[in-house]
C-alpha cells in the first residue's frame, strides 16, 4: 500500500493538499513501524527527497503564519488528524527534528485557528466546501486537542472544550486531559475572540476576519472572507460574509451540497449541485456582476489572485470594523466592502452596517443577495408575489437554481423583517427608484431534491458605480411560551449616501428617537494616523482620524433633510 502511494501515485503523494497529507502520514508512520528510513524520508521531504513535497513542505505551505488553513476551518479539522498523528510519531521517533516547533509552532497555531473558526455551538463556520453538521466534537479535534494540551503547555481553557467532547484519545495527552478534568473543580472557558487570520504561506494572500460580541450563551459573530481561493474545496465568494446570533445562523453561507455517508445521495459524495450552485458566487452573501461568478467560475484563474486586506479595528468591542478590497474577481470592476459591528445603548444588540462600494468604467448589473434564516414577516414596501407560478431567476452560474418568489420596486430606503428564534431581524437598505428587490428560494432545477430550500433577499442595480448600504439589526423579543412580543419593527428609517467616490464614502443614517449617525470611510488611505476633512454640500465639515469614524448624535436635523 505504501509503495502504491509514493511510486504509483507520486503526483497525489507530493500534492500540497490534505489528500497529500493523508498519504505522507500513512507512509511515514509505516516507515517508523518497519524501520525503513527511505519511507520516512519520502514522507518528510517528498518522493524525490528534495523538499518540494512531503510533510515539511505541507507544514510550510498549507498554513499561513498564524495557522489559518487555506481550505478553511472545516477542512482544517479534517487535515489536523494526519498532521497531528504523524507529528506525534515523528516526535516520538525523531525528536531531533523538533517537529512541534516548526514554523514557530505552526501546529499549535493551526489548532487554535481551527477552534476560533467554530461558533459557540461547536459548528465550524461553513465557508468553502463545509458541512454544517461537523463540530469540534469530531474525532479529529479530540486527538488534536489532546496533543496540543500535552505538547504546548497544558492550556486549561481547552478543558472546557474537552468536557463537551466527553472523550479523550488513548495517548499521553489524552490521559493528561482526563486527569485534569477529574482533578479540577472548575476550568476556565475557552474564549472565542474577535480575530483576523491572514491567508497564504507568507501571509500575503488576503485573509478572514471574525468580529464577536457578547457571552458564549448568546454570542453575536460575523465572519468576513477575503482570502485566497482555497484549493479544490474553495468557493467563488470574494468579500462574502456570514452572521450568527442566539447560537444559530442568521445570515447563512450555504456551505456544500453534500449528504455525507448517505448512500441515496450519490453515495455520500459531493453532489452535482455543489458545482452548479454551492460554489457559485450567487450562493453567497456577496456581489455578483452580470450574473457571472468570480473569475467566470474558473478555479485556475481564481487561484492566481486573492482579495486584499484594507484594515481591521477590533480593540473596542462596541465598535468593530473590518474592510477589504478586490479588483480581480471581475475584469474592470473594483469592489470595496466594509463591515461594522456597532453596539449602542439604544439597541438590545450590536447592529451590523455593511457598506459595499463597487466601481467600474462600464455599466453592469450588480446583484447583492442576503440568505437569511428564519421566517419572512414584513416589508416597508409593496411587493408582487408569484402565487400561481414561479419563474427561475436565470439560466446558469447558480441562477438556474433560484426561484423568484416575489419582486418589488421602492423609491427610498427600504426595510425587510424576519423572525428567527426569539428575536426579530431587519435589513434596512439604501434602495431607490433604480433598485429592484428580489425575493428568492433555493431549489429550482433540482429534480433529485439535493438542495435546501432556503430563502434570500437580493438588491439589484444597473450602474457603473454604486454603493450598497445595508443595516442588519437584531431587535425585539418573541416569547410564544409567555405569549408576548415587543419591538418587532426596526429602528432605522433612512439611509443617505451623501458622498461615495475614490477618496471617501460618507453615509448618514437616521432612525427613531432622533437617531442620527454619520459614518465616514477613507477609501484609499488606511493609515490610522492620517487626518481627513470633508466638506458636505450643506457646508458641514467632517474631520476624523484614521480610515473610518462614526459620529453618533440625537437631533432633529433629519427632519430638515427630508
* Residues annotated as part of the active site: 75, 233
Block residue for cell numbers 513501524: 33
Block residue for cell numbers 416569547: 479
- Distance, in Å, from the CA atom of 390 to the CA atom of 405, rounded to the nearest integer, reads 6
The answer to whether residues 472 and 448 touch, using CB atoms and an 8 Å cutoff, is no
The answer to whether residues 376 and 370 touch, using CB atoms and an 8 Å cutoff, is no
Per DSSP, the three-state class of 278 is: helix
- Distance, in Å, from the CA atom of 359 to the CA atom of 320, rounded to the nearest integer, reads 25
- Distance, in Å, from the CA atom of 535 to the CA atom of 303, rounded to the nearest integer, reads 42
The answer to whether residues 79 and 86 touch, using CB atoms and an 8 Å cutoff, is no
Please give the helix or strand (H or E) that residue 114 lies within, else none. helix 102-116
- Distance, in Å, from the CA atom of 31 to the CA atom of 29, rounded to the nearest integer, reads 5
DSSP 63: B
The answer to whether residues 443 and 398 touch, using CB atoms and an 8 Å cutoff, is no
Burial 238-276 (b: 16+ CB within 10 A, else e): bbbbbbbbbeebbbbbbbbbbbeeeeebbeeebbebbeb
Backbone angles phi, psi at 281, to 5 degrees: -60, -35
Block residue for cell numbers 444597473: 462
Please, what sign has the CA dihedral across residues 198, 79, 25, 53?
Answer: negative
- DSSP per position, 318-357: TEEEEEEEESSSSTTEEEEEEEEEE--TTSSS-EEEEEEE
- Distance, in Å, from the CA atom of 171 to the CA atom of 47, rounded to the nearest integer, reads 30
- Distance, in Å, from the CA atom of 14 to the CA atom of 20, rounded to the nearest integer, reads 6
Residue 466 to residues 289, 407, 507: CA-CA distances in angstroms?
A: 12, 20, 13
- Distance, in Å, from the CA atom of 251 to the CA atom of 91, rounded to the nearest integer, reads 43
- The C-alpha cell at 356 is 459595499
- Distance, in Å, from the CA atom of 453 to the CA atom of 461, rounded to the nearest integer, reads 25
The answer to whether residues 531 and 545 touch, using CB atoms and an 8 Å cutoff, is yes
Q: What sections of 217-266 are H helices per DSSP?
A: none
CB atoms within 10 A of CB 421: 14
Amino acid at each position: 500500500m505504501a509503495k502504491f502511494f509514493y511510486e504509483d501515485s507520486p503526483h497525489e503523494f507530493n500534492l500540497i493538499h490534505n489528500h497529500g497529507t493523508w498519504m505522507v502520514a500513512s507512509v511515514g508512520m509505516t516507515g517508523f513501524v518497519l524501520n525503513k528510513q527511505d519511507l520516512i524520508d519520502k514522507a518528510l521531504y517528498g518522493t524525490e527527497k528534495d523538499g518540494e513535497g512531503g510533510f515539511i513542505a505541507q507544514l510550510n505551505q498549507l498554513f499561513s503564519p498564524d495557522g489559518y488553513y487555506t481550505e478553511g476551518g472545516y477542512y482544517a479539522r479534517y487535515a489536523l488528524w494526519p498532521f497531528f498523528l504523524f507529528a506525534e510519531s515523528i516526535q516520538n521517533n525523531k525528536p531531533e527534528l523538533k517537529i512541534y516547533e516548526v514554523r514557530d509552532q505552526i501546529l499549535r497555531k493551526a489548532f487554535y485557528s481551527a477552534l476560533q473558526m467554530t461558533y459557540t455551538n461547536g459548528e465550524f463556520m461553513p465557508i468553502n466546501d463545509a458541512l454544517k453538521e461537523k463540530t469540534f466534537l469530531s474525532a479529529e479535534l479530540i486527538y488534536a486537542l489532546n496533543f496540543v494540551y500535552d505538547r504546548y503547555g497544558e492550556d486549561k481553557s481547552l478543558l472546557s472544550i474537552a468536557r463537551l467532547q466527553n472523550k479523550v484519545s488513548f495517548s499521553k495527552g489524552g490521559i493528561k486531559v482526563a486527569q485534569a478534568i477529574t482533578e479540577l473543580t472548575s476550568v476556565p472557558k475557552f474564549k472565542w475572540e474577535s480575530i483576523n487570520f491572514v491567508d497564504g504561506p507568507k501571509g500575503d494572500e488576503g485573509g478572514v476576519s471574525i468580529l464577536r460580541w457578547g457571552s458564549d450563551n448568546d454570542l453575536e459573530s460575523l465572519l468576513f472572507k477575503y482570502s485566497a481561493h482555497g484549493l479544490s474545496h474553495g468557493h467563488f465568494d470574494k468579500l462574502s460574509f456570514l452572521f450568527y446570533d442566539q447560537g444559530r445562523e442568521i445570515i447563512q453561507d450555504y456551505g456544500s451540497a453534500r449528504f455525507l455517508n448517505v448512500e441515496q445521495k450519490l453515495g455520500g459524495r459531493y453532489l452535482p449541485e455543489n458545482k452548479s450552485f454551492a460554489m457559485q458566487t450567487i450562493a453567497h452573501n456577496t456581489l455578483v456582476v452580470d450574473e457571472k461568478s468570480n473569475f467566470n467560475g474558473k478555479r485556475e484563474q481564481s487561484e492566481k489572485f486573492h482579495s486584499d486586506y484594507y484594515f481591521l479595528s477590533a480593540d473596542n468591542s462596541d465598535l468593530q470594523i473590518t474592510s477589504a478590497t478586490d479588483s480581480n474577481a471581475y475584469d474592470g470592476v473594483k469592489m470595496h466592502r466594509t463591515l461594522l459591528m456597532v453596539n449602542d445603548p439604544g439597541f438590545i444588540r450590536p447592529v451590523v452596517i455593511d457598506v459595499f462600494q463597487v466601481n467600474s468604467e462600464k455599466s453592469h448589473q450588480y446583484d447583492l443577495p442576503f440568505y437569511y434564516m428564519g421566517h419572512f414577516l414584513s416589508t416597508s414596501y409593496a411587493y408582487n408575489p408569484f402565487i400561481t407560478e414561479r419563474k427561475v431567476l436565470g439560466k446558469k452560474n447558480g441562477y438556474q437554481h433560484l426561484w423568484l418568489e416575489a419582486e418589488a420596486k421602492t423609491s427610498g430606503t427600504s426595510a425587510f423583517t424576519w423572525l428567527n428564534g426569539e428575536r426579530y431581524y431587519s435589513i434596512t437598505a439604501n434602495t431607490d427608484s433604480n433598485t429592484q428587490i428580489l425575493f428568492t428560494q433555493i431549489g429550482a432545477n433540482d429534480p433529485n431534491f439535493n438542495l435546501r430550500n432556503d430563502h434570500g433577499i437580493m438588491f439589484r442595480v444597473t450602474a457603473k458605480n454604486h454603493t450598497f448600504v445595508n443595516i442588519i439589526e437584531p431587535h425585539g423579543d418573541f416569547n410564544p411560551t409567555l405569549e408576548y412580543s415587543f419591538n418587532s419593527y426596526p429602528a432605522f428609517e433612512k439611509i443617505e449616501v451623501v458622498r461615495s467616490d475614490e477618496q471617501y464614502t460618507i453615509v448618514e443614517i437616521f432612525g427613531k428617537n432622533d437617531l442620527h449617525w454619520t459614518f465616514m470611510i477613507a477609501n484609499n488611505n488606511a493609515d490610522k494616523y492620517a487626518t481627513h476633512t470633508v466638506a458636505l454640500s450643506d457646508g458641514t465639515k467632517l474631520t476624523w482620524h484614521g480610515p473610518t469614524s462614526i459620529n453618533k448624535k440625537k437631533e432633529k436635523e433629519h427632519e430638515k433633510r427630508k
